[in-house]
Amino acid sequence: MTKHDSDETSSEQVTRKRKGDSFDELEIDLNASIPLSKKQKRLAKKGKLEEEPAPKITTVQESEQKAEKSKYGVWIGNLSFDTSKEDLVRFLVGKSSVKEDEITRVNVPKKGNQIKGFAYVDVQNEEQVNKLIELSEQNLNGRNLLIKNATSFEGRPEKESKLPPSRILFVGNLSFDTTEDNLQEHFQHCGEIARIRMATFQDTGKCKGFAFVDFKNEDGATTAMNSKLAKTMLNRKLRLEYGEDRSKRRPKSHTQNETQERQEFASEAPEITPQVNKRQYRERPQERPQKREKSSVALATAQRASAAIVPSSGKKITFD
């Protein structure tokens, strides 16, 4: 028997097994624990591995139920910090005709163990929303509640820019892969663009994360600030603010001319001296500081003593 014949027989046996045998279906236990890695096995041998609870695997139906959010809901503000979900549901059911089973969701955001002071309550239809809004300004746990439609944003303060409106638009939180062409295409619907100044790295030439878009008119920058399409770019939320328009600054020459004109006007204006009583002026003369002479001048003008013999002019006194 040659080697070639033996290879053919072995291949026939494999094919027969494949044809005759049927593959069993694999069963996967989703609740089973995750197998340990090599590092975890070494730690387990040394007794240093801490047992962690197995992660709970949620099904698709459970995840869809959690994500469901009704389009009919109310926002409740000015809540007391010790208010619980049960207190809020009990208040809404007791004060209105809305039943407990008609409330589909109650979301009370917390910071640590304390609530933030507001909540969202979802119901089934618009009529129930209006019934809950009627409970606004009623007292719960010593606080008058503010209830309004969850989709209404009236009364919120608008974000104001630090600088007044101008034709310069500052664009922040840009991706490092942003180019000037991307900015041109993104903001060209807002108005005519004069130029784009993008900050880049010297070594790579990539964007540093911010840029200035100079529009020809101020309307272009205001349109970009109010446009929802302009606030997101390359899956990033942009930070838009008005920039400083340096062309509106007054040059230094104007300020210098103004100071010269003021000095000339002050020199040409007549001096106004206050009327002072002469007697009072004589009694209190104005003292002026005297200049001190130089030492060389004082030495030259000093009086010189005479070197001649001076005759005695005294009287002689004798004692007996």
Among candidates 216, 218, 240, which has minimal Cα distance to 229? 240
Among candidates 99, 106, 101, which has minimal Cα distance to 74? 106
Mean pLDDT, all residues of the chain? 77
Query: For residues 239 and 171, is the Cβ–Cβ distance under 8 A?
Result: yes
Q: Is 136 exposed, middle or buried (0-12, 13-18, 19+ CB in 10 A)?
A: middle
The dihedrals phi and psi of 153, each to the nearest 5 degrees, come to -115, 25
d(CA 94, CA 82): 19
Q: In this predicted structure, what is the pLDDT of residue 264?
A: 61
Mean of pLDDT values over 6-18: 49
Residue by residue, DSSP assigns 173-242 as: S--TT--HHHHHHHHTTTS-EEEEEEEE-TTT--EEEEEEEEESSHHHHHHHHH-SGGGEETTEE-EEEE
Helix residue spans in the chain (DSSP H): 3-20, 38-46, 60-67, 85-95, 126-133, 180-187, 218-226, 252-268, 278-283, 295-300
Q: Which fold has domain 70-149?
A: Alpha-Beta Plaits (3.30.70)
Among candidates 243, 233, 244, 192, which has minimal Cα distance to 209? 233
Locate 173 and state its tokens. 């939180």
Q: In this predicted structure, what is the pLDDT of residue 237?
A: 92
Q: In this predicted structure, what is the pLDDT of residue 161?
A: 55
Query: For residues 244 and 219, is the Cβ–Cβ distance under 8 A?
Result: no
> Is the pTM higher than 0.85?
no
* 61 has pLDDT over 70: no
Q: In this predicted structure, what is the pLDDT of residue 182?
A: 94
Measured at the alpha carbon of residue 282, what is the angle toward residues 279 and 288, in degrees to the nearest 5?
A: 145
Q: In this predicted structure, what is the pLDDT of residue 268?
A: 56
Lowest mean pLDDT among 66-70, 94-98, 202-206: 66-70
Query: For residues 43 and 49, is the Cβ–Cβ distance under 8 A?
Result: yes
Dihedral sign computed on CA atoms, order 140, 146, 152, 158: negative
* DSSP bridge partners of 239: 172
Lowest mean pLDDT among 108-117, 198-207, 251-260, 295-304: 251-260
What Å distances lie between residue 223 and 101, 138, 189, CA to CA? 46, 41, 9
Q: In this predicted structure, what is the pLDDT of residue 17?
A: 47
Q: What is the share, in percent, of the chain residues with pLDDT greater than 90? A: 36
Locate 58 and state its tokens. 């949620």
Q: In this predicted structure, what is the pLDDT of residue 191?
A: 92
Lowest mean pLDDT among 43-47, 118-122, 141-145, 299-303: 299-303
* Domain residue extents for the chain: 70-149, 168-244
Locate 207 and state its tokens. 């964007």
Q: In this predicted structure, what is the pLDDT of residue 62?
A: 47
* 202 has pLDDT over 70: yes
Q: 139 pLDDT band (50/70/90 cuts)?
A: very high
Q: 38 pLDDT band (50/70/90 cuts)?
A: confident
Q: 253 pLDDT band (50/70/90 cuts)?
A: low
Q: Which amino acid is at 118?
A: F
Q: Which fold has domain 168-244?
A: Alpha-Beta Plaits (3.30.70)
User: Are the folds of 70-149 and 168-244 the same?
Assistant: yes
d(CA 272, CA 278): 17
Lowest mean pLDDT among 234-238, 277-281, 285-289: 277-281
Mean of pLDDT values over 131-141: 91
Locate 193 and state its tokens. 């663009």
Mean of pLDDT values over 188-203: 93
* 75 has pLDDT over 60: yes
* 197 has pLDDT over 90: yes
d(CA 12, CA 160): 81
Q: In this predicted structure, what is the pLDDT of residue 308?
A: 73
